Every structure is written in structure tokens, then in C-alpha cells.
């Protein structure tokens, strides 16, 4: 039997029961589709987050108050945690490998300009923030290098806040009121868009010491350090740990290196991918059972045809191959439909949410299709073997 | 040439042995026309199945055209069925989803014969059996007589030396039955050995040789 005839005959068998075949293939299709869609999004997310994080450089270290242990955060609630202070930042700045430091305080507050008012995210930072975080101002300038404890009341507006408060009028040099205190606007930021649902433009930057006072806090929320690329983050992290532990008397803070964060992130996304894969595996299993059922029914219904084929000189092995072929064709059609669903779906999602890029790798697509065909093959074995083992006389007798 | 010697076929039904065939010996020369008759359950189909290599005897030997076919394995027997034997069944056994053309082409396709040659041979067969204008019809769009003609066209498309027909007219009205019998007889006149099981005495009488079976034995052979 020629290959194209073999295919034609098996596809014909699948087509003869359109609705039934469609529903069975759908089982496989949904499984493959879900896996392709979710992994495409997952992979896209991975690329995206990686790019977002490494845009700050990988030589970034963050320090947060409280020690993260395997038991969870024993954070600010515990009384023996000393606050992270601006002085801590200053002392770390003196370390030779540290290029730059940023004290960070964050909170929400109302900002007023004339009759306009808006609640927004306030970032208390240093002049260095624009360098370390690679922020660019659109107009004016970022915070000046004032002494950290005696910083002047200047504010930099995110593009959205600027738009909301001042519209098309000049913002530079204007006075705004944040939590009752007056600040002078000396710069506005370029639009940065959204990161995972956070509007980066809905933010105002003021000096860290002012933010501490505003939110009535003792402790910074984070200290960011930029270290030279000559030394590894773990070595620098160790020195930072020594200095801070010396100042605090104990290790009541958590140091996170960018490298480690990327590792953790990679781990989380890896686990997510495995979970999605497992889900897809289950739906493939269900789809496989569907194919097994339908092929068993087909073998029953076509007993007479099997007898006829035997009478026409078809051997047992060829009967086996024909029915296995049909199961594989069924599953492969489902797989193709699933690929269509998955690729189309991720394209659709990227249309709806442009910020969430999807990334479908061809190697993945090919192996998903092969997997579908393999599921069909395995599911087809039992019914096909039953067909091959039929006695031709018995098979011909059923009508 | 078909040469059967001391063929036994025993079925186990529960604990009981049913002797479908006991000590059947017969020889059919090339080009013979044989009708096998006998009461229901006398072993006619069992005999035809063994001649057609669809079933194996429990005892005895079978030689077809000088080959000891009872000693061949399953695959080799399938080869012989494909090339030497054509079957015609009471219930036609057409593949319902295939057209008349594709049903007739089925043995050619299964043997790997190329599309162009299939086209030529099947078109000729359709014409020979008066089915040219039914080539694209599926079995459920054909009359009983037409279905059986498609089945006969399929049985002869590989140019077998033997045609085995188990009650080929059993499912047809009188005139279609006679028409089918005449087609088979015409094939026989062209040299094909024709062995036909029938309940119909009139049809049986048309054969040059009649075998009467009773209780799994050949009672009468003339
Ligand atoms: N698979 C089987 N299992 C058990 N007994 C069988 C089997 N096939 C045939 N027999 C028995 O063998 C005997 C001969 O059967 P066979 O079908 O050859 O008869 P037949 O002459 O063709 O009858 P009919 O005219 O009704 O078709 C019968 O008694 C039947 O019951
Ligand atoms: Mg019978």
C-alpha cells in the first residue's frame, strides 16, 4: 500500500464520522492549545521580566529591613529590628565597590496643585535614583545632590501626575502641596508605561528625608546599591552585611542581589511552566482516553470492513497499522487545531494586552504536535490490536 | 487447482464438539463451476472459508495450484488470498463510506498499484459490469443488484483464479439474482474457477457439478 493511499484511507475513516471525530480531536486540541497558549505567555513573560529587571543592570543590590528566614518574614513587627536609616545608606556609600546608593521610602499621599488634587504613589529617594534606576527627566532636572538630612522640598512629577494636575500648562517651578507640605516642581519624568499593572507614571519623587517625615516613619523601606561590575554581587553583599550588622548589632535586614532575584524569578517561572505542562498533560491524557474510546467504537462498527479487508488479502499487521494510523491522524488533527488555538490565542492576548508579550518557539510547536501524535499512537494500540486479532470469518459474519 | 484431503473442522461450543466438517476430500480443476448445496448448518460456509484461506482446518491438507497452503503462515496466506481468490458475499460487504469506484479499486490500492493504473482498470471494470454511470455513488445509493455487481467487480479486479461466492443471490430478488448468476457464469466461461454456495435448487442446477453436503460431509458429488 502506498503512503498517500494509506493516508487517504485513514483520513477517509476519520472524515466519515465528522462530528464524532471533531469532538474527539477537540479533546486533544484543547490540551495542546492550553499548553501552547500558557507556555507562550509564560515564556513571553519570562523574557519581558528579565528585560525589565536587567534594564537596571545586574549589579544592583537591595536591602530591606527585617530578616527573611525560611519561616517567613520576621519583619518590622519584631521590636528588636532596628530601622534602616539614611545614615546606614551614607555609611554603605563609603564602601569602595559601591558606586551609588539610593534610600527609598514609598507611600500613598494626596498631591494638590491649585484646585486639582490626586492620590498618587510618593517615592522618597535620593538624587542618585535617576542614575541607579536609569530614569530620565523629560523637562527640568531630577533631585539635586543636597545633604540627605537637609534636602530641599523639591518634587519631580511622573508624566501622568503632571498631566492630571497641570494639563497642558507649565508645571516647572510651580508649587504643589503633598500631605500638607509645600514642594516646588523642578522636573517631570518621561512616560514609562506600565509594569505588570503598575502605572509607573502615576508617581511623584521627593527627597527621602521629606518622605520619612511625611509618612511619619523611622525606617527606610529599601536601600538600593549599585556596585562596580569588577566585583561579584555575593562578595559585595557580604561586605554590606558586615557593615550593617556592625551598625545594627545583629543581622536584622535582608540583602537581595539582582542575580539572586533573577534566579528566584527563573525558578518561579520554571515551576509555573511545569505546572502548566502538567495541566496540559492531564488534558492530553483525557484526550487520549477519548481517542481510545472512539477508536474502540470504530473497530466495533467496522468489524465487517475488517473482515472484508482480511478477505482481500490484508494481513494482521496492516490492519494494525491502518487503525493505529487512524488514531494518530485523529490526534494529529486535534494537535494542529490546538496549535492554531494556542498560537492564535497568544496573538489575540498580545493584541489585547500589548504590555504582555507572547513568545512561541517553533521547537515547542513541533514537539507539541509530535506529542499529540504520540498520544494518538498510544491510545490507538488497544483498539488497533483488537482489530488485528479478529478472526476474519467472525468479522465477516457481523452485519 | 484445488485439492482438499481429509479436512476436519471442529468448533467447541461449551463442552461440546461440533464437527462442521468431517473428513471432507475434494478436488476442483481450473475453470470448474461447482455449486455447493445442502441444509442449513451442513458445513457449506465452513468449507468455503477453508478453501478461501479465511479459516484453517483442524486436520487434513489443502493444496492450491500446487502450493501446500495449509502449511503457510498468516501473512503468506493473505498474499495468496490477495492474488488468487476473489470473494462474493451474501451481504455484499461494500465499504459504506467509499464510492463504487473506490470499493472496486480497494484491492488494487491495498496492493500498492499506482493511481493511473487503478484508474484504467477500474474504469474498464465499471464498464464491463454496466456500472459506468454509478462510479461516484456510495453503496447506500445503489440497488441490491448493483451492489452485488460492484462486489463482483471488486472480487475480479485482481484477476483471481478462483471466485468463492457464499449465497451471492441470497439477498437479491429473483431477476437481480439471475442477472448476478449470469455475470458469475460469464466469468467462469472466461476461465475462472467458480465455487458457489446456494440454497436455491434452480441456481444449483445451472452448475456443471453439484456437491451436496449433509452434517459436515460430502453426501453427493456429481
Ligand atoms: N464459529 C463457530 N462456532 C461454533 N460453531 C460454529 C461456528 N461456525 C460454524 N459453526 C457450526 O458449524 C456447523 C456448520 O456451519 P456452517 O456455517 O458451515 O453451515 P452452513 O452450511 O453454511 O449453513 P447455512 O446454510 O445456514 O449458512 C453449524 O453447526 C454451525 O453451528
Ligand atoms: Mg453458510
Give CA–CA dist A90/A68, Å, rounded.
23
Q: What is the pTM assigned to this prediction?
A: 0.73
If asked whether residues A244 and A115 sit together in one domain, one would say yes
B27: DSSP letter:
E
Query: Cell numbers at residue B61, please?
Result: 491438507
Q: B31-56+73-221 in CATH: which number? A: 3.40.50.300
> Residue ranges of the domains in chain B?
31-56+73-221
- A279 and A193 in a single domain? The answer is no
Contact residues, chain A, for B55 at CB < 8 Å: 391-393
Atom of ligand 1 nearest to the CA of B167: 27
Residues A100, A245, single domain; the answer is: yes
How far is the CA of B160 from the CAs of A306, A312, A388, B85, B104, in angstroms? 21, 11, 25, 5, 14
Range with lowest mean pLDDT among A80-89, B45-54, B175-184? A80-89
Split into its structural domains, chain A has a count of 2
* Confidence at residue A210, expressed as pLDDT on a 0 to 100 scale: 92
How far does the centroid of ligand 1 lie from the alpha carbon of residue B43, in Å? 6
Query: Pick from A251, A282, A317: which residue ends a domain?
Result: A251
Distance set, CA B187 to CA A22, A146, B129, B183 (Å): 45, 112, 11, 6
Is the confidence at residue A197, as pLDDT, over 70? Answer: no
Confidence tier at A250 by pLDDT (50, 70, 90): confident
Tell whether A202 and A303 lie within a shared domain: no
For residue A281 the three cell numbers come to 498533560
A303 C-alpha vs ligand 1 centroid, how far in Å? 19
Q: A62 by DSSP, 3-state: which? A: strand
Minimum-distance CB partner of A312 among B49, B98, B106: B106
Residue A46: CB atoms within 10 A of its CB come to 19
Flag whether A67 is in a domain: no
Residue A276 sits in the same domain as residue A189:
no
CB atoms near residue A156 (< 10 Å)? 28
Task: Tell me which residues have their CB closer than 6 angstroms to ligand 1.
Answer: B 11, 13, 18, 20, 38, 40-46
User: What percent of chain B has a predicted confidence (pLDDT) above 70?
Assistant: 100
Which of A159, A152, A155 has the alpha carbon at shortest distance from A175? A155
Q: What is the ipTM of this complex?
A: 0.95
Instruction: Mark which of A251, A285, A318 sits at the end of a domain.
Output: A251
Co-location of A202 and A324 in the same domain: no
Atom of ligand 1 at shortest range from CA of B197? 22
Residues A217 and A143 in one domain: yes
If asked whether residues A192 and A224 sit together in one domain, one would say: yes
Task: Determine contact: A312 vs chain B, CB below 8 A.
Answer: yes
| A279: containing domain | 3-52+264-397
- Cell numbers 477537540 correspond to A26
Per-residue model confidence as pLDDT tens digits over A80-122: 678 888 888 988 888 888 889 999 999 999 999 888 899 999 9
Residue nearest to atom 25 of ligand 1 (CA): B40
- Which of B52, B75, B89 is closest, CB to CB, to A315? B75
For A62-85, the pLDDT digits (tens) are 888 887 654 555 544 555 678 888
| Residue A58 reports pLDDT greater than 90 | no
Give per-residue pLDDT as tens, B53-111: 999 999 999 999 999 998 899 999 999 999 999 999 999 999 999 999 999 999 999 99
Closest-CA distance of chain B to residue A353, Å: 47
Question: What whole-number percentage of chain A has pLDDT above 70?
Answer: 93
Domain boundary among A216, A251, A286: A251
Amino acid at each position: 500500500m502506498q503512503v498517500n493511499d494509506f493516508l487517504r484511507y485513514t483520513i477517509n475513516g476519520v472524515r466519515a464520522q465528522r462530528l464524532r471525530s471533531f469532538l474527539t480531536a477537540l479533546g486533544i486540541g484543547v490540551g495542546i492549545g492550553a499548553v501552547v497558549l500558557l507556555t507562550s505567555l509564560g515564556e513571553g513573560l519570562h523574557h519581558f521580566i528579565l528585560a525589565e529587571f536587567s534594564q537596571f543592570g545586574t549589579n544592583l543590590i537591595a536591602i530591606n529591613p527585617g530578616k527573611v528566614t525560611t519561616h517567613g518574614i520576621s519583619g518590622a513587627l519584631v521590636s528588636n529590628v532596628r530601622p534602616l536609616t539614611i545614615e546606614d545608606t551614607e555609611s554603605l556609600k563609603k564602601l569602595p565597590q559601591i558606586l551609588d546608593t539610593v534610600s527609598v521610602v514609598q507611600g500613598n499621599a494626596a498631591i494638590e496643585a491649585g484646585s486639582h488634587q490626586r492620590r498618587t504613589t510618593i517615592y522618597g529617594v535620593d538624587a542618585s535614583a535617576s542614575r541607579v534606576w536609569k530614569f530620565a527627566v523629560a523637562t527640568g532636572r531630577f533631585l539635586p545632590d543636597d545633604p540627605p538630612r537637609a534636602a530641599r522640598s523639591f518634587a519631580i512629577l511622573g508624566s501622568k501626575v503632571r498631566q492630571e494636575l497641570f494639563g497642558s500648562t507649565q508645571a516647572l517651578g510651580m508649587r504643589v502641596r503633598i500631605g500638607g507640605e509645600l514642594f516646588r516642581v523642578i522636573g517631570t519624568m518621561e512616560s514609562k508605561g506600565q509594569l505588570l499593572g503598575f502605572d509607573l507614571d502615576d508617581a511623584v519623587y521627593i527627597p527621602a528625608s521629606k518622605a520619612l517625615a511625611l509618612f511619619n516613619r523611622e525606617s527606610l523601606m529599601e536601600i538600593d546599591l549599585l556596585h562596580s561590575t569588577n566585583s561579584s554581587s555575593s562578595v559585595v553583599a557580604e561586605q554590606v552585611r558586615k557593615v550593617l550588622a556592625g551598625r545594627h548589632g545583629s543581622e536584622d535586614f535582608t540583602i537581595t542581589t539582582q542575580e539572586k532575584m533573577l534566579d528566584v524569578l527563573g525558578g518561579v517561572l520554571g515551576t509555573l511552566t511545569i505546572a502548566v505542562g502538567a495541566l496540559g498533560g492531564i488534558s492530553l491524557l483525557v484526550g487520549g482516553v477519548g481517542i481510545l474510546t472512539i477508536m474502540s467504537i470504530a473497530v466495533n462498527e467496522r468489524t465487517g470492513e475488517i473482515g472484508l479487508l482480511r478477505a482481500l488479502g490484508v494481513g494482521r499487521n496492516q490492519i494494525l497499522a491502518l487503525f493505529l494510523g487512524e488514531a494518530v491522524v485523529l490526534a494529529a488533527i486535534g494537535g494542529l487545531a490546538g496549535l492554531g488555538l494556542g498560537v492564535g490565542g497568544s496573538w489575540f492576548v498580545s493584541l489585547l494586552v500589548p504590555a504582555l508579550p507572547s513568545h512561541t518557539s517553533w521547537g515547542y510547536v513541533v514537539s507539541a504536535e509530535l506529542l499529540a501524535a504520540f498520544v494518538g499512537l498510544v491510545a490507538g494500540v488497544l483498539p488497533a490490536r483488537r482489530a488485528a486479532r479478529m478472526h476474519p470469518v467472525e468479522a465477516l459474519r457481523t452485519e | 487447482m484445488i485439492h482438499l484431503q481429509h479436512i476436519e473442522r471442529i468448533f467447541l461450543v461449551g463442552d461440546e464438539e461440533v464437527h462442521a466438517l468431517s473428513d471432507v476430500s475434494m478436488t476442483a480443476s481450473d475453470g470448474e463451476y461447482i455449486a455447493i448445496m445442502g441444509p442449513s448448518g451442513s458445513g457449506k460456509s465452513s468449507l468455503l472459508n477453508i478453501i478461501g484461506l479465511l479459516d484453517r482446518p483442524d486436520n487434513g491438507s489443502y493444496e492450491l495450484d500446487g502450493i501446500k497452503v495449509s502449511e503457510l503462515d498468516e501473512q503468506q496466506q493473505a498474499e495468496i488470498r490477495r492474488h488468487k481468490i476473489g470473494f462474493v458475499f451474501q451481504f455484499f460487504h461494500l465499504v459504506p463510506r467509499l464510492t463504487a469506484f473506490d470499493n472496486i479499486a480497494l484491492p488494487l490500492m491495498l496492493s500498492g498499484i499506482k493511481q493511473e493504473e487503478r484508474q484504467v482498470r477500474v474504469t474498464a471494470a465499471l464498464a464491463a459490469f454496466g456500472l459506468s454511470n454509478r462510479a461516484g455513488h456510495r453503496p447506500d445509493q445503489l440497488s441490491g443488484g448493483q451492489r452485488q455487481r460492484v462486489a463482483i467487480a471488486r472480487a475480479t479486479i485482481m484477476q483471481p483464479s478462483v471466485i468463492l461466492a457464499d449465497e451471492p443471490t441470497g439477498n437479491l430478488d429473483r431477476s437481480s439474482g439471475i442477472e448476478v448468476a449470469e455475470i458469475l457464469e460469464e466469468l467462469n466461461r472466461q476461465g475462472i474457477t467458480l465455487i458457489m454456495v446456494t440454497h436455491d435448487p434452480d441456481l444449483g442446477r445451472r452448475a456443471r457439478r453439484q456437491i451436496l453436503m449433509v452434517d459436515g460431509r460430502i453426501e453427493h458429488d456429481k
